[in-house]
Amino acid sequence: MSVISILKRYGIRPSKAFSQNFLVALPTIQKLVGEMELGSDDVVLEIGAGLGVMTRLIAEEVKFVYAVEPDEKMVEVLNSELDELENVRILKEDILRLRLSRILPKDEKCVVVGNIPYHITSPILFYIRRNRDFFKKGMFVVQKEVARRLAAKPGSKDYGIVSVLMQSIADVSQRFFISRDSFYPRPDVDSEAIRMVFDPPPSFGITNDEIFVDIVRGAFGQRRKKIINAILGSRLIKAEREEIQGALSKAGLTGNERAEELDIFAFARLARAFEELS
């Protein structure tokens, strides 16, 4: 059954409060599931299961699906539409408050997927980053602009905090374009499917992730400034100018570079240098 027909059947209108823009183009949904490269032994965590159209397709391919949905009306639909599927567990939860250790097996990593609500894209991405040890790969639908930032390389205008922080823990790749006409209600922007592979993790030599994150946030906090001045002006890094210059030198940097010019290896070296100061 199509998304539109399910909405009509249950008399549901998309909720602005939950930023609901349902992906209604079935060929696109099928393509997304295909790009996930799922196996019969996979466990999947779906963020924002909505009306369960993609959930059903995923459930046909995998061992088990945890379908997370915060909207009570959607949960009622999911319980009705997917009632016969024994390998689907529907969770009425806010994903940002969900403790994955409560539901996911300890001895295997899962696949995380979702059509990410526009208004909480960044919080969800950073939630995924914090919980990366639970995941082996992911497939997400995000705004086209966000997809460009996620996959951006040093030197580009799109390269920033989210680029460095997500690429530091996963292999990130843009997969395919999704027109705004593929959604209901039709949003004002186009989207893209983006894939992340968490396992095996990238190796950048990050030894203290907390310091690494603070360095990245501090450096990009004033991205037009030279990195020494950006870090000096950041509240995240507490160090004197001489200490900052020393750390930069140890990382092979002069201090005249700007954040958008540094690759992840450079940020990792800088974080290790600051770690030695603490």
Taking the domains of the chain in order of start, what are their residue ranges? 3-197, 209-277
Evaluate whether 71 touches 90 at the Cβ level (below 8 Å): no
Length of the chain measured in residues: 278
- Provide the H-helix boundaries in the chain: 3-10, 26-35, 53-59, 72-81, 121-130, 144-151, 161-167, 209-221, 227-232, 241-250, 264-277
pLDDT of residue 36: 97
CATH superfamily for domain 209-277: rRNA adenine dimethylase, C-terminal domain (1.10.8.100)
**Hunting for tokens 């940020």 — which residue is that?**
267
pLDDT band, very low/low/confident/very high, at 1 (cuts 50, 70, 90): low
User: Which of 12-26, 65-79, 219-233 is least confident?
Assistant: 12-26
User: What letter represents residue 165's amino acid?
Assistant: L
Report d(CA 20, CA 16) in Å as an integer: 6
pLDDT of residue 24: 93
pLDDT of residue 3: 83
CATH superfamily for domain 3-197: Vaccinia Virus protein VP39 (3.40.50.150)
Same fold, 3-197 and 209-277: no
Rounded to 10 deg, the angle between the 209-221 and 264-277 helix axes is 110
Pairing verdict, β 64-68 and 88-91: parallel
Report d(CA 214, CA 208) in Å as an integer: 10
The rounded mean pLDDT for the chain is 95
pLDDT band, very low/low/confident/very high, at 237 (cuts 50, 70, 90): confident
pLDDT of residue 106: 73
* Cα angle: 137, vertex 219, 116; to 5 degrees: 35
Report d(CA 113, CA 34) in Å as an integer: 12
The residues, ordered by sequence, that sit 6+ positions from 68 with a Cβ below 8 Å of its Cβ are 45, 46, 47, 48, 49, 91, 93, 95, 98
The pTM (predicted TM-score) of the whole model is 0.94
pLDDT of residue 228: 95
